[in-house]
């Protein structure tokens, strides 16, 4: 079972992705579920890795985290659909990068929001069904910092 904080991050990220022009027509973005119908999306937790731990003289510690998520999209698949699907994934990656650079992406850490980044990485065909649909997967990566005081780690 995901921790409550992770549930909040997933919900915030799903709401953010609903605003992406590249995902127009894909409603809603489900959390931890991908419905069978075409033009559906599901956001799944990946993993969280510590990147760096910094401590100051006051005993406060800052942990830099890298967290990944998988966005799965059920899209049409068939003759001529690959270029449109690839363009959708490229457009999504560009939009996520622009929103992150503008400070409009969801914040996951509890300190240093200016250093947070969100990126849409590799997008690829995951599975192709024989009923005219395919599942594409986009890896999303968030990097953020959490502040721990007084031995919280």
Instruction: Identify the pLDDT of residue 7.
Output: 86
Full strand arrangement of the beta sheet holding 61-76: 29-31, 40-55, 61-76, 133-148, 117-128
Q: Does 62 map to a domain? A: no
The answer to whether the CB of 76 falls within 8 A of the CB of 49 is: no
Instruction: Give Dmax (Cα) for the chain.
Output: 62
Instruction: Identify the pLDDT of residue 1.
Output: 46
Q: Does 40 map to a domain? A: yes
Q: Does 149 map to a domain? A: no
| Domain ranges, residue 90 | 4-49+67-144
Q: Does 43 map to a domain? A: yes
Instruction: Identify the pLDDT of residue 153.
Output: 54
Q: Provide the number of structural domains found in the chain.
A: 1
Q: Which residues of the chain have pLDDT under 50?
A: 1-2
Q: Does 94 map to a domain? A: yes
Q: Does 55 map to a domain? A: no
Instruction: Identify the pLDDT of residue 27.
Output: 85
Strands 61-76 and 40-55: antiparallel
CA 42 to CA 131: how far, in whole Å?
A: 19
Instruction: Residue 114: give its domain's CATH number.
Output: 3.30.70
pLDDT tens figures, 95-111: 999 999 999 999 999 99
Cβ neighbourhood burial of 29 (10 Å; 0-12, 13-18, 19+): buried
């Amino acid at each position: 079972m995901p921790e409550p904080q992770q549930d909040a991050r997933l919900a915030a990220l799903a709401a953010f992705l609903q605003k992406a022009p590249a995902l127009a027509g894909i409603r809603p973005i489900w959390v931890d579920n991908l419905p069978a119908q075409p033009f559906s999306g599901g956001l799944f937790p990946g993993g969280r890795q510590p990147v760096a731990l910094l401590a100051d003289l006051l005993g406060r510690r800052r942990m830099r985290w890298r967290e990944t998520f998988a966005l799965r999209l059920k899209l049409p698949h068939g003759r001529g659909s690959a270029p449109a699907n690839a363009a959708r994934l490229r457009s999504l990656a560009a939009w996520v990068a622009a929103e992150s650079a503008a400070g409009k992406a969801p914040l996951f850490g509890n300190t240093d929001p200016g250093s947070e980044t969100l990126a849409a990485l590799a997008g690829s065909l995951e599975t192709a069904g024989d009923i005219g649909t395919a599942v594409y997967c986009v890896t999303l990566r968030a990097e953020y910092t959490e502040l721990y005081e007084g031995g919280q780690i």
